[in-house]
Structure 1
Amino acid sequence: DLPEDDPRNPATIADNVGDNVGDIAGMGSDLFDSYVASIIAAMMLAATLPLIVDITLTEAGRFVYTVFPIVICGVGLFASLLGILFIKWKGSDDPGKALNTGTYLSTLLFAALAALFTLIMVIGLTGEEATMLWKLCGCAVIGLLAGIILGFTSDYFTRADRKPTRKMAEAAQEGHAVVILSGFSYGLLSVVPPAIGIIIAMVFAYLLSGVFGVAMAAVGMLAIVGTIVSNDAYGPIVDNARAIAEQGDLGDDIIRTADHLDSAGNTAKAITKGFAIGAANLTVLALLFSFATEANDINPGTLDVMDLLKLNVLIGAFIGVVVPALFSALLIRAVQRNAGKMVEEIRRQFESNPKILTGEEAADFSRTIDIATKGSLKELIIPSIISIVIPITVGILFGVAALGAFLAGAILSGFVFAIMMSNAGGAWDNAKKWIEDGNLGGKGTETHKASITGDTVGDPFKDTAGPSINTLLVVMSLTASIFLGFLMLFGNGAGLLVF
């Protein structure tokens, strides 16, 4: 029974590398693709604005509306830089509070700067165009506020000092199965507040500016992406620092301090994941509206209504609901298989070289890193193919309307899966850390062992399957938009199988 970050464990360095790859590079890429996709969706809708909103545009107005999403993102970047600098200047003994303060400040700065730049950009526009631009600015602020609500919902359900995590830790006293059930149920419960937040944001944005307003809400939600990525990167940094402290035997005081920082890091990661999931969902909704507008532009009436009483549309929706579940299953099984290979390699090293366990010789760390890297790339082949092939297949067989329903179904079920797995995984992790701080008997007890089981189940939930659904939804939506012209060739958009 080796401690978690024992230097004799051949997988220790692979664990540290995985934190950096998954929670910095991976989450950064996830947020970046949503960021770019939201801008593209908003600019595409701006180009067809007279088709979706009753407004007469001048050339100046058309230009301003098209570049407005980019301006909003630039404003958000500047606000993020100021917010991050404030965290460094102000300092705090509570890392979680410092990160939250930086996020609040970036949000306030964004709202103020967005209003300032909108005031400048309305110069030269007609009264109708100026009013519309102010409404779009409001939509962007609404989107960001919704993102903050989503993030701090994750904070409530995953922080070690909050009721859900404490209840999960107490459930570990009753055994391994009970802690799993507790985490799963709280994960499902955590879906409700973000869903309400997104619904409210969509309603207000739609009332202000229609589907273009929803797209601008997605842009606004991702405007301070710099702050969000910075907060997310904090988690792996302190996690690795804690691992180095334990591997270097730097003493219990330093490890306890690192644990305190690490707990805040886990919460920061959970907040970021909640934010990323909400942003991805608003982004793909904007892409769905853009897809429908483009389809109607090519062939009027193609996607005015998604009639679920039509069999092909219903089939598309059913397939869309199933795909995130299939995708999650493939990824979790991939983690299971790679973990099995890793365990076999660790046992092989211990058996072939007993001096590793005594500390006389170092383990072969590069071997375990190679297994994880090659295995992850290999296991992603089928999920990647699914994300591209299934939307095209649905469009060819059942038509463009069915493809629209497919995307809608995937968005709805993907949101539930992503939020549930992300929050449940984060709460299991922090419940274990709370017990390790000396609560409920501390390390080495049966309660602690049960919490380790929860944390082990939670890792593929929060670090693999949950965040990956964001990318799945964005890729499928972009694939549908890119291949729309091709899909319209099959039965003029009705598909090969007409019911």
Structure 2
Amino acid sequence: MNYLYVAVIVGIAALLVAFLLRASILKIQVKNKRMNEISGYIEEGAMAFLKTEYKYLAGFIVIVAIVIAIFIHPQTALCFVVGAVFSILAGFFGMTVAVKANVRTTQGAQKDIKEALKVAFSGGSVMGLCVVGLGIAGLAILGLIFDLNIEYITGFGLGASSIALFARVGGGIYTKAADVGADLVGKVEAGIPEDDPRNPAVIADNVGDNVGDVAGMGADLFESFVGAIISAITLGAVVKLGTDKAASIFPMAIASIGIISSILGILVVKVLKTNDPQKSLNTGTYTAGALMIIGAAVLSKVLFDTFAPFGAVVSGVIVGLLIGKITEIYTSANYKFVKEIAKESQTGAGTNIISGLSVGMKSTILPIVLICIGILISYYIVGGEANVTTGLYGIALSAVGMLATTGITVAVDAYGPIADNAGGIAEMSNLPESVRDITDKLDSVGNTTAAIGKGFAIGSAALTALALFASFTEAASLKAIDLMNPLTLVGFLIGAMVPFLYGSLTMKAVGKAATEMVQEVRRQFKERPHIMDGKEKPDYKKCVDISTASAIHYMILPGILAIVIPLVMGMFFGAQALAGVIAGCVGSGVLLAIMMANAGGAWDNAKKYIEEGNYGGKGSETHKAGVVGDTVGDPFKDTSGPSMNILIKLMTIVSLVFAPVIAQYGGIIINIFK
């Protein structure tokens, strides 16, 4: 049985289900002219940004493909282009449905919360199924064409990682520039509600939810999904487990089972009749995980006549679910940490910031411990004590297990920004307060599910990067990584510094873009005083243009650095120094990513907890402090934090793809001294 053909069929099936869900969403008629008008503004702004972004990315894809074709292989360059294009398509397809689903979610909220959840989740499911459908189909088709030649197929992962970084950073800068500008001037200075139509930045803010949290997140999880599979295929090609190519086929087969399980989990969410959206989403996620585990057990026995590889997969699933639960505990208002941040906001913004940072730092402990346990279990259960490469293959399988149900994980994640947009449309359309109450409840759950999705991506990044790192050492002919070697130590320190440099650049980018937005909103309020009494319409387009220009301008440097740094270190100082860079980057990057994502999510939900009437409610001094904390947390959780996991894997896969060149020509400076 050729599992690659099965993977192609499963990928096409996922895309077909996504198409059917899209059709069901578009059937819903919205007759409210104001709702359609606002939704049209959001869709227009989102599409304008993507068209501009894709023009820049097209040039990048062509240049990098030419470099790969010259220095590596034309076949690798072809795979790179396919990976990049599929990554773009995953984000594009998801976002084009999201901007249609938002207004229909508002329509559903006028009936009840179950109807609103159904529409928003269907929109998110389109994103999730496009991510996994394109990912598995692309890999399987290239696997059939090139007979699973990993030297070529790694190009697919490089293309996916490259686009994901630009999409995450660009979308993150866009959405947070608008969000911060809207909050600081609208909420804090003008004292008007969130999503008030008088706020000139409000449309840009809603556009940002789509380009950052839908299109950017889709490209991000696409990269995570295919990166985990590629890392396992890479090691599977050299381990001796089962029959010929069984170890290479197994990750693809597990991913296929995960897609089928995700589709069934999505159906479970849609048929559940409950007013508790968190319960519905959790039930669907756990159902998908359970089904995937059963399928993995059967497949492991069939391909290997042992359950050892299945054990590695299960360790990843369990670690992923536990990280998700821990993330929920640290970022949901149902638990003490968010409530503590809200409580300490009573004494001002300073204590709010201190409390949020403390929560973020503390939240790294258990996920790291779990990742370490997962690494050890998956390494030894497959037989790492007898064969290091086999053990590393087990770690790669753990990452595949963690991401096998990405279809529903992304669906749960992407539903959040759709619900957020729905709330904005309700506010700007002057719908009854009961409608906004429903969308706010969905949005609050969405913040937690988004944080959980980021936790999965970050946890899998550590496991995937470790597996890719192992492949790099083999490709670069490194027998061992010696920390007593000054080159390795220097590389390690530089690598540990890179996530901080990257975080600084992306945070500063949001700050600069937000400053431009704040100045524009203040200008409009000052020069057009009748905006506040509703007699004059704000210039929404100007704010959309500011976010677009800022995002495109500031995304370029961080993205280029992630590619250039490993190449420069490898060519100038050699493979040993580059190995140190990767190790340092993974270590500090994973910790920084968890801290920033969780702190940002906690700050956001602390603000919402206050807005529910706690500690003074909306408009109070406590609320103002909560808004400041949320403003700081915005780039933490939606720009810098979630893109750290892409940074880690992009640097690792760049090193892997160019390993033969670095092994042959690297160490220019060291050779001069010698």
Q: TM-score, normalised by structure 1?
A: 0.92
Quick one: which of 287, 292, 298 aligns to 1:116? 298
Quick one: which of 370, 377, 383 aligns to 2:552? 377
Corresponding residue of 2:80: none
1:112-134 superposed Cα distances (whole Å, 9 cap, x missing partner): 11122334x33xxxxxx533xx3
CA–CA separation in structure 2 for the residues paired with 1:153 and 1:398 = 40
1:223 matches 2:404: yes
Corresponding residue of 2:165: none
1:321-364 superposed Cα distances (whole Å, 9 cap, x missing partner): 00000000000000000001111222232334333222223222
Corresponding residue of 2:473: 292
1:177 matches 2:359: no
- Look up the equivalent residue of 1:95 and give its one-letter code: P
Corresponding residue of 1:455: 630
Distance 1:491 1:343, change over 3 A: closer
- Look up the equivalent residue of 2:278 and give its one-letter code: G
Corresponding residue of 2:485: 310
How many angstroms does 1:289 deviate by?
1.2
On the 8 A contact 2:571/2:667 being kept in 1, the answer is no
Match of 2:305, SS state, is: helix
On the 8 A contact 1:140/1:216 being kept in 2, the answer is yes
1:276-307 superposed Cα distances (whole Å, 9 cap, x missing partner): 111122111111111112223xxxxx2x2211
How many angstroms does 1:231 deviate by?
0.5
- Look up the equivalent residue of 1:110 and give its one-letter code: M
Q: Please, what is the CA RMSD of the aligned residues?
A: 1.6
CA–CA separation in structure 1 for the residues paired with 2:322 and 2:587 = 19
User: What is the 5 A alignment of 1:12-23?
Assistant: 12-23=202-213
On the 8 A contact 1:6/1:247 being kept in 2, the answer is yes
Match of 2:250, SS state, is: helix
On the 8 A contact 1:398/1:497 being kept in 2, the answer is no
On the 8 A contact 1:400/1:493 being kept in 2, the answer is no
On the 8 A contact 1:313/1:398 being kept in 2, the answer is no
Corresponding residue of 2:450: 269
Match of 1:380, SS state, is: helix
CA–CA separation in structure 2 for the residues paired with 1:349 and 1:172 = 30
Distance 1:349 1:494, change over 3 A: closer
1:252-299 superposed Cα distances (whole Å, 9 cap, x missing partner): 222222222211111111111111111122111111111112223xxx
Quick one: which of 634, 654, 661 aligns to 1:486? 661
Corresponding residue of 2:237: 47
Quick one: which of 455, 460, 470 aligns to 2:645? 470
How many angstroms does 1:467 deviate by?
0.5
Quick one: which of 282, 292, 317 aligns to 2:463? 282
1:97-144 superposed Cα distances (whole Å, 9 cap, x missing partner): 21111111111000011122334x33xxxxxx533xx31122112111
Corresponding residue of 1:94: 276
Match of 1:338, SS state, is: helix
- Look up the equivalent residue of 1:85 and give its one-letter code: L
How many angstroms does 1:35 deviate by?
1.1
How many angstroms does 1:494 deviate by?
9.8
Quick one: which of 475, 495, 500 aligns to 1:325? 500
Quick one: which of 597, 602, 609 aligns to 1:427? 602
Corresponding residue of 1:126: none
1:166 matches 2:326: no
On the 8 A contact 2:309/2:397 being kept in 1, the answer is yes
Corresponding residue of 2:310: 137
CA–CA separation in structure 2 for the residues paired with 1:205 and 1:393 = 33
Corresponding residue of 1:3: 193
Corresponding residue of 2:612: 437
- Look up the equivalent residue of 2:350 and give its one-letter code: A
On the 8 A contact 1:440/1:447 being kept in 2, the answer is yes
User: What is the 5 A alignment of 1:239-258?
Assistant: 239-258=420-439
Distance 1:491 1:464, change over 3 A: closer
CA–CA separation in structure 1 for the residues paired with 2:373 and 2:668 = 33
Match of 1:489, SS state, is: helix
- Look up the equivalent residue of 1:67 and give its one-letter code: I
CA–CA separation in structure 2 for the residues paired with 1:448 and 1:71 = 50
Corresponding residue of 2:99: none
Corresponding residue of 1:409: 584
On the 8 A contact 2:573/2:667 being kept in 1, the answer is no
On the 8 A contact 1:165/1:428 being kept in 2, the answer is yes
Match of 1:448, SS state, is: helix
Corresponding residue of 1:299: none
Distance 1:381 1:306, change over 3 A: same
The answer to which of 252-261 and 476-485 deviates more is: 252-261
Query: Where do 4+ consecutive residues of structure 1 move more than 4 Å?
Result: 491-495
- Look up the equivalent residue of 1:283 and give its one-letter code: T
Quick one: which of 201, 218, 221 aligns to 1:28? 218
- Look up the equivalent residue of 2:197 and give its one-letter code: P
How many angstroms does 1:463 deviate by?
0.5
Q: Percent identity?
A: 46
CA–CA separation in structure 2 for the residues paired with 1:176 and 1:160 = 19
How many angstroms does 1:492 deviate by?
7.8
How many angstroms does 1:421 deviate by?
0.5
- Look up the equivalent residue of 2:617 and give its one-letter code: G
Distance 1:437 1:275, change over 3 A: same
On the 8 A contact 1:175/1:447 being kept in 2, the answer is yes
On the 8 A contact 1:47/1:62 being kept in 2, the answer is no
- Look up the equivalent residue of 1:168 and give its one-letter code: I
- Look up the equivalent residue of 1:257 and give its one-letter code: I
- Look up the equivalent residue of 1:38 and give its one-letter code: A
CA–CA separation in structure 1 for the residues paired with 2:366 and 2:296 = 27
CA–CA separation in structure 2 for the residues paired with 1:405 and 1:208 = 27
- Look up the equivalent residue of 1:259 and give its one-letter code: D
- Look up the equivalent residue of 2:417 and give its one-letter code: P
1:334 matches 2:505: no
Match of 1:443, SS state, is: coil
Corresponding residue of 1:125: none
Distance 1:161 1:491, change over 3 A: closer
Quick one: which of 210, 214, 228 aligns to 1:38? 228
Distance 1:104 1:156, change over 3 A: same
CA–CA separation in structure 1 for the residues paired with 2:397 and 2:668 = 28
- Look up the equivalent residue of 1:195 and give its one-letter code: I
Match of 1:84, SS state, is: helix
CA–CA separation in structure 2 for the residues paired with 1:498 and 1:357 = 69
Quick one: which of 211, 215, 224 aligns to 2:392? 211
Corresponding residue of 2:418: 237
Match of 1:44, SS state, is: helix
CA–CA separation in structure 2 for the residues paired with 1:407 and 1:493 = 19
Match of 2:244, SS state, is: helix
Structure with more contact order per residue of length (Cα contacts < 8 Å, sep ≥ 6) = 1
The answer to which of 93-102 and 315-324 deviates more is: 93-102
CA–CA separation in structure 2 for the residues paired with 1:136 and 1:117 = 9
CA–CA separation in structure 2 for the residues paired with 1:320 and 1:497 = 23
CA–CA separation in structure 2 for the residues paired with 1:436 and 1:350 = 25
